Amino acid sequence: MLGSVPRKVGVEEEFQLVDRKTRRLTARAQELLARLPGDRFVGELQRCVVEANSGVFDDLSQLRADLVGHRRTLVDAAESLGIGVAAAGAVPLMLPTEMQVTGSPRFQHMLADYQLLAREQLICGTQVHVDLPDRDEAVQVATRVVSHLPIFLALSASSPFWADGSDTGYASARALAWLRWPTTGPAAPVDSVAAYDALVADLVSSGVISDPGMVYFDVRPSTRWPTLELRVCDSCPRLDTVVLVAGLFRSLVEREVTALRAGDPGVVISPTLARAALWRAARSGLEAELVDVERGSPRPAAEMVRSLVRSLRPQLEDHGDWETVSELCAAALHQGSSAARQRRALRRRGRLTDVVDLLVSETAGRSADLSGPIPVHGNDSRLTPAQPGTPARVPAAARGTAEDQLVAWRRDLHAHPELSFEERRTTAVVREHLVGLGLEPVLLPGGTGLWCDLGPATPRCVALRADLDALPVTETTGLPYASTVPGVSHACGHDAHTAMLMGAAAALTRDPPRGRVRLIFQPAEETTPGGAVDTIAAGALEGVSKIFALHCDPHLEVGSLATRAGPITSSNAAVTVRLWSAGGHTARPHLTGDLIHAAAVLVTGLASVLDRRLDARTATVLTWGRVAAGQVGNFVPEAGELVGTLRSASHETWVTLEPLVARTIGELLAPYDVRHELSYQQGVPPVVNDPDCAAELRLAIEAAVGHDNLAEAPQSSGGEDFAWYLEHVPGAMARLGVWGGTGPRQDLHHPGFVLDERAMVHGVRTLVALTRIHHRANPFGS
């Protein structure tokens, strides 16, 4: 009835527990429940499942906040035990011998009676309760909403894979498994509470069920509360889906109660068609057609969802839910069902573990909607959705300001580039910003570069690093903010790296992390051996437990980030070989050292020997960039020079390459009367991402851009002096997609290199998320 107080609504969510290492279901519910408040969390039939019960609210935003809190409590407690939490109808990895039924008398009785059904009950659902104290009305409304149940199932469909890892071909395999129980179906085939109670009594007396709580209709009067309970939904990884279903179901109940009291007979459909429509929803999810039971014909799922939302607009507006539900509906249709997202995750690399990681990530709220700009300032709920289920969208009035500031910083730095160890203006800009935030930056001894700490003074801290310097490259982009310094430009994206870390400083100052964070603004990355060496010598790593960095990558599109465990860049060394011999006429080469021939043997031979002396998996590559000797075609020259680079993805190989190269050159030139001198300048080692740090970085990327936009980075032959930090502490680097999706992809160090500035907000969010994840896993900074 319009104008009345909204009916109260509550939610029960069931969660699967998985081992974080193996990603298999784990029967550790009792161990986890011992760490959780008993008034909100309970065990279920299987010991790999925990149920969370929300409070009761008449406001959807309050319901969301309560569900966010419950998920956060559950996820944090589980992570401390090495357990992942997945809200899904089913999880695709399981060993039957590891599964156990909970030991309560009721559940053991169910196991004895139902055998296979109980043992294979590896499924989870979401139940929504709407306040409806008149049980007679509840029974009748249950039958009136049956035609809409397929829509709720399609919205929630999250079980395409069975527990043995097989693709069932369905969006909700849980719905199929559920129908095997003897007391399921769309709704009880009765029209009064008296008939309903009699039906339940008959079922109990028949011995088929032991108590009224085992009546499992898709919609039913609750056995415990004065509510009508929706039971058709899979568990939903994204909390937005739960809130959407709750808002829609409450308004649907309100509409049908009003119509019932007005004498409207409602829509009557046959039980057979109702079950057929539910089967179609289980098969198709949101990605195909559902059955329009009123028309008796197929209809696109998206069209049916929108039609239901429009039909409930009066009730939604009366509850104050219209705008929220409309936005959530649009997002759900844009993102597709969880089942479709899971299949996409599997297709990327063919790994079911990626599917589990996606579910765990979405359940913890570490996936974000990229449909609109996201501010840099603010708490976790807006910048990094570390609070489970927090939507990425923000009020229009709050959008743009922080993103505009990022762009302004970056363009100022871009227009005023400075070479290595000359970054005095850049250092001053960063210092002024940090001081303005109330921080106390420490200037490096050379006057360029600085670092500072923020957050509580925990014994150890996590470090984030950006580089300041530009390249001796003349810019040809023609941008209005192009370099104003002749022959110098930020053709490697360091201006964006600096701006992003400045943005992270602002966000972390506004909403401090749980532990200490160190921001390192390093000079001279583009030199050899790199400014990291001086930065470390100045004490910037003292007390640091882990370190992370991002690097722009024009091969990835904006919105994507990539990382990997193990080597992500290569070592580099500069190799110069100078040659001397007796010269002479080309008609009599035997009277000379034939230096050109000897040089050719060296050019081809050294690479060939290295190929045979080194494991190919080390990705060791020698490339000559300059070969110079001689002036004319009929004279054998007396001197020559070869200049190249030698790169490797193996740290062990990097250490041993110089003596191998020196010895091999001597052996190759031994047959010739040619003297040589080797100049071997050992550069940076390879960046080898620590596996644990890479795992944290993956979680942070998922928080920033969502699981679907996390890529596996290829190993690069480029060098990065970030590797020097990893000689002292574990850490990891990721690549940030900066290609805008149109136009050429100019590579790093190219005079025409251009980055899409929209990428920077994703970088800031990743950096901030890293601090949240690190200090959640290490709450005392140890």
Give the confidence band of 115 by pLDDT, cuts at 50, 70, 90: low
**Is 381 part of any domain?**
no
Residue 654 sits in a domain of what CATH number? Answer: 3.30.70.360
> Does residue 586 lie within any of the structural domains?
yes
Same domain, 561 and 577: no
Residue 104 has pLDDT above 50, yes or no: yes
Could you tell me the pLDDT band of residue 681, with boundaries at 50, 70 and 90?
confident
The CA-based dihedral angle spanning residues 65, 66, 70, 72, taken in that order and rounded to the nearest 10 degrees: 10
Do 452 and 336 share a structural domain? no
pLDDT of residue 340: 93
Could you say which of 622, 655, 682 is where a domain stops?
682
User: How distant, in Å, are the alpha carbons of 42, 54, 150, 601 from that of 227?
Assistant: 20, 14, 21, 86
* Helices 759-777 and 691-705, packing angle to 10 deg: 130
Whether 289 and 333 map to the same domain: the answer is yes
Task: Report helix, strand or coil for 351.
Answer: coil
Q: Check: CB of residue 267 under 8 Å from CB of residue 255.
A: no
Q: Could you tell me the CATH number of the domain that includes residue 330? A: 3.30.590.20
* Confidence (pLDDT) at 97: 62
pLDDT of residue 775: 66
pLDDT, tens only, 738-766? 999 888 888 899 999 999 999 999 999 99
Q: What is the mean pLDDT of the chain?
A: 87
Same domain for 292 and 192? Answer: yes
pLDDT band at 203 (very low <50, low <70, confident <90, very high): confident
Nearest to 218 by CA among 162, 310, 282, 161: 282
| 659 shares its domain with 670 | yes
Residue 692 tokens, joined: 């644990």
**Confidence category of residue 119, pLDDT binned at 50, 70, 90:** low
pLDDT tens, position by position, 150-199: 999 999 999 999 888 889 999 999 998 878 777 778 888 888 889 988 98
Looking at residue 652, what is its pLDDT?
A: 84
Give the pLDDT score at 259.
Answer: 95
Q: Work out the average pLDDT over 255-271.
A: 90
Question: Percent of the chain scored above 90 by pLDDT?
Answer: 64
With residue 555 as reference, give the H or E element that holds it: strand 544-557
Cα-flanking dihedrals φ and ψ of residue 614, to 5°? Answer: -120, 145
Please say if the pLDDT value at position 99 is more than 70: no
Structure tokens at 362: 């979405």
User: Can you tell me the distance from the alpha carbon of 679 to that of 577, in angstroms, rounded to the nearest whole number?
Assistant: 6
623 plus 718 within the same structural domain:
no
Out of 301, 331, 363, a domain closes at 363
Token code pair at residue 33: 């429940």
How do residues 527-562 score in pLDDT, each as one tens digit? 888 899 999 999 999 999 999 999 999 999 999 999
Instruction: Please indicate, yes or no, if residue 443 is contained in any of the structural domains.
Output: yes
Residues 593 and 504 placed together within one structural domain of the fold: no
Q: Which residue has the tokens 């009136």?
A: 144
> What's the pLDDT score for residue 110?
56
Let me know whether 202 and 252 are in one domain.
Answer: yes
> 3-class secondary structure for 267-298?
CCCCHHHHHHHHHHHHHHCCCCEEEECCCCEE
Question: How far, in Å, CA of 314 to CA of 57, rounded?
Answer: 20
* DSSP, residue by residue, 452-517: EEESS--SSEEEEEEE---BS-------TT---STT-B-TTSHHHHHHHHHHHHHHHHHS--SSEE
pLDDT of residue 299: 92
Quick one: which H or E segment has residue 204? helix 193-205
Are residues 223 and 91 part of one domain? Answer: yes
In this structure, the answer to whether residues 587 and 468 fall within a common structural domain is no
Residue 454's pLDDT is 94
Structure tokens belonging to residue 649:
């993805």
**Out of 110-124, 338-352, 655-669, least confident range:** 110-124
Q: Are 193 and 226 in contact (CB under 8 A)?
A: no
Residue 386 lies in a domain: no
Q: Is 283 exposed, middle or buried (0-12, 13-18, 19+ CB in 10 A)?
A: buried
**Token pair recorded at residue 116:** 């296979």
Backbone φ, ψ for residue 359 (5° rounding): -65, -45
pLDDT computed for residue 296 by the predictor = 83
**Calpha distance 189→187 (Å, rounded):** 6
Q: What CATH number is given to the structural domain containing 761?
A: 3.40.630.10
Cα separation, 705 vs 711, whole angstroms: 11
Q: Indicate whether 103 pLDDT > 80.
A: no
d(CA 203, CA 212): 8
Give the pLDDT confidence score for residue 382 in this predicted structure: 29
Nearest to 318 by CA among 232, 418, 250: 250
Beta bridge partners of 125: 234
- CB-based contacts of 329, cutoff 8 Å, min separation 6: 244, 305, 306, 309
Confidence of residue 381 (pLDDT cuts 50, 70, 90): very low
**Residue 178's pLDDT is what?**
79
Output the pLDDT for position 4: 62
pLDDT band at 228 (very low <50, low <70, confident <90, very high): very high
How far out from the chain centre does Cα 778 lie? 20
Q: Which two tokens stand for residue 609?
A: 């020997």
Residue 373 lies in a domain: no
- Confidence tier at 398 by pLDDT (50, 70, 90): very low
**Helix (H) / strand (E) containing 129:** strand 125-131
What's the chain's length in residues?
782
Model confidence pLDDT, tens digit, residues 638-677: 999 999 999 888 888 888 899 999 999 999 999 998 999 9
Q: Is residue 383 part of a domain?
A: no
Report how far apart the first and last C-alpha atoms of the chain are (Å, whole number): 57
Q: Which alpha helices (DSSP H) does 676-754 contain, by range?
A: 691-705, 723-726
The amino acid at 335: Q
Whether residue 74 has pLDDT greater than 50: yes
**Cα–Cα dist 340/169, whole Å:** 11
> For 743, how many CA atoms within 13 A lie in the half-sphere containing its CB?
12
**Predicted pLDDT at 694:** 94
CA-nearest of 435, 339, 259, 349 to 89 is 339
Asked whether residue 394 is domain-assigned, the answer is: no
Last residue of a domain, one of 682, 711, 734: 682
At 301-318, the pLDDT tens digits run 999 999 999 999 999 999
Instruction: State the residue range of the domain holding 487.
Output: 406-569+687-777
Band of the pLDDT at 118, cuts 50, 70, 90? low
Per-residue pLDDT, averaged over 596-615, amounts to 92
pLDDT number for residue 389? 31
Residues 271 and 355 in one domain: yes
**Predicted local distance difference test score (pLDDT) of residue 186:** 87
> For the chain, what is the domain count?
3
| Residue 395, in any domain of the structure | no
For the entire predicted model, the pTM comes to 0.59
**359 shares its domain with 490:** no
Rounded CA separation 37/422 (Å): 57
Max Cα-Cα span within the chain: 116
